[in-house]
């Protein structure tokens, strides 16, 4: 039998999400006035997702984690975790709720140095009384076996290496079988080999149904998660910009997001018309769009269907700024896109030749595919 349970239907908030933040703002009072630490944060995470949060020091990463864990409360906005309105819990209920629903892995382990490894793991069970007393030691030993440290159960934490202590911290975070694991720079003090092994452990936990959020400064590790949220100056940068243009730096992704215009279209609405003047490149952020090619004496053909994180309109940027195809919102539902003007895109691509080349290759391939679908030779 697994040490962990799979997420059950209805575990998330009313819309099925495990974590759901709505319009979260956080202000801190300072001698020089209010400091706006988080600005209009919307974040939705499904059960079983592995999400990384990246950003520079002081960007708001830790404040965001504090909102999710209930360590701090939003000034305005709502936070739901596993169906619970965290922002509405009082202090007495918060600690017990946190112990049962969240496993927190700290950068500096935070193991109690004067008690044994196994006692460190049993403490959360003792606090929340989630398992009968007679079962707690066995469960702790099973968790230590999972992290390959059962032989060290009765040692003090100080007798273990940094990597071993971090694995104990992960086992402790799993003590009450919480649905969500939060890890703040979990590999920051580990060598690269040990960091990779810890990351592999997180992947195994996700496969067993856990929802995991990590804060990391390592963009290489972040790319191994399902999704990455970049936070800059208290705002989450649209993740689909970096997905659409993965060769951009964090700063360039931020620039692109700041310059982009958010547009919404009802299902079936025409977004671009072939032959019209082109002024912008688009990134799909919600819904699905269809790239349509007319064929002489035949019905139009849907050449492509593009979902979140995909680009369209790039062909006009490289081909005399004229539309080469028509694009409409799918009949399945409404669509949201980010529109970046060609002038702004040009300034961005001056900073990233790798992104320019990637978009140019995409434009060439789509042009060739389009000609083939029309029955012509490229």
**Residue pLDDT, tens place only, 44-84:** 999 999 999 988 888 898 899 999 999 899 999 999 999 99
**Mean pLDDT estimate for the chain:** 86
On the question of pLDDT at 13 being above 60, the answer is no
Regarding the domain delimited by 47-73+84-231, which CATH topology (the fold level of the hierarchy) does it fall under? Rossmann fold (3.40.50)
pLDDT number for residue 12: 44
The CATH number of the domain covering residues in 254-373: 2.60.120.10
* pLDDT exceeds 80 at position 155: yes
Q: Report the candidate in 26, 12, 53, 44 with the shortest Cα–Cα distance to residue 182.
A: 53
Domain-wise residue ranges, the chain: 47-73+84-231, 254-373
pLDDT band at 374 (very low <50, low <70, confident <90, very high): low
Q: How far apart are CA 61 and CA 45, in angstroms?
A: 16
Segment 79-115, tens digit of pLDDT: 999 999 998 888 888 888 988 899 998 877 889 999 9
Do 47-73+84-231 and 254-373 have matching folds?
no
Q: Which of 57-61, 201-205, 218-222 has the lowest mean pLDDT?
A: 218-222
Tens of pLDDT, residue by residue over 242-280, are: 888 888 887 888 888 888 999 999 999 999 888 787 889
Instruction: Please tell me the chain's helix, strand, coil percentages from 3-state DSSP, rounded to the nearest 5.
Output: 35, 30, 35
Give the predicted TM-score (pTM) of the model. Answer: 0.75
227-230 long-range contacts, Cβ below 8 Å, gap at least 24?
Answer: 227/49, 227/50, 227/51, 227/52, 228/51, 228/52, 228/53, 228/54, 229/43, 229/51, 229/52, 229/53, 229/54, 230/54, 230/55, 230/254
């Amino acid at each position: 039998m697994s040490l962990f349970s799979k997420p059950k239907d209805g575990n998330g908030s009313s819309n099925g999400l495990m974590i759901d933040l709505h319009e979260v703002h956080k202000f801190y009072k300072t001698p020089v006035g209010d400091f706006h630490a988080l600005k209009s944060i919307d974040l939705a995470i499904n059960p079983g997702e592995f999400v990384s949060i990246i950003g520079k020091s002081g960007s708001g990463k830790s404040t965001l984690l504090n909102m999710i864990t209930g360590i701090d409360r939003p000034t305005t906005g709502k936070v739901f975790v596993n169906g619970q309105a965290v922002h509405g819990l009082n202090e007495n209920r918060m600690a017990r709720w946190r112990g049962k629903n969240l496993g927190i892995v700290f950068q500096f382990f935070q193991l109690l140095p004067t008690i044994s490894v196994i006692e460190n793991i049993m403490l959360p069970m003792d606090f929340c009384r989630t398992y009968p007393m007679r079962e707690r030691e066995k469960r702790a030993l099973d968790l230590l076996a999972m992290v390959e440290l059962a032989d060290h159960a009765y040692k003090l934490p100080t007798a273990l290496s940094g990597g071993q202590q971090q694995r104990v911290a992960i086992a402790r975070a799993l003590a009450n079988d919480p649905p969500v694991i939060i890890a703040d720079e979990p590999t920051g003090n580990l060598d690269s080999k040990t960091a990779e092994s810890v990351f592999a452990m997180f992947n195994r936990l996700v496969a067993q149904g856990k929802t995991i959020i990590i804060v990391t400064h390592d963009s290489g590790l972040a790319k191994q998660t399902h999704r990455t949220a970049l936070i800059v100056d208290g705002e989450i940068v649209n993740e689909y910009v970096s997905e659409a243009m993965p060769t951009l730096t964090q700063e360039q992704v931020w620039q692109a997001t700041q310059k982009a215009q958010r547009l919404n279209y009802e299902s079936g609405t025409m977004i671009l018309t072939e032959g019209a003047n082109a002024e912008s490149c688009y990134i799909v952020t919600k819904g699905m769009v269809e790239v349509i090619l007319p064929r002489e004496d035949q019905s139009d053909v849907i050449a492509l269907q593009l979902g979140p994180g995909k680009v369209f309109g790039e062909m006009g940027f490289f081909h005399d700024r004229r539309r080469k195809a028509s694009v409409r919102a799918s009949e399945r539902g409404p669509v949201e896109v980010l529109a970046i003007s060609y002038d702004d895109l040009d300034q961005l691509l001056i900073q990233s030749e790798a992104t320019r080349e990637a978009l140019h290759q995409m434009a060439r391939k789509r042009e060739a595919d389009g000609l083939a679908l029309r029955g012509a030779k490229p």
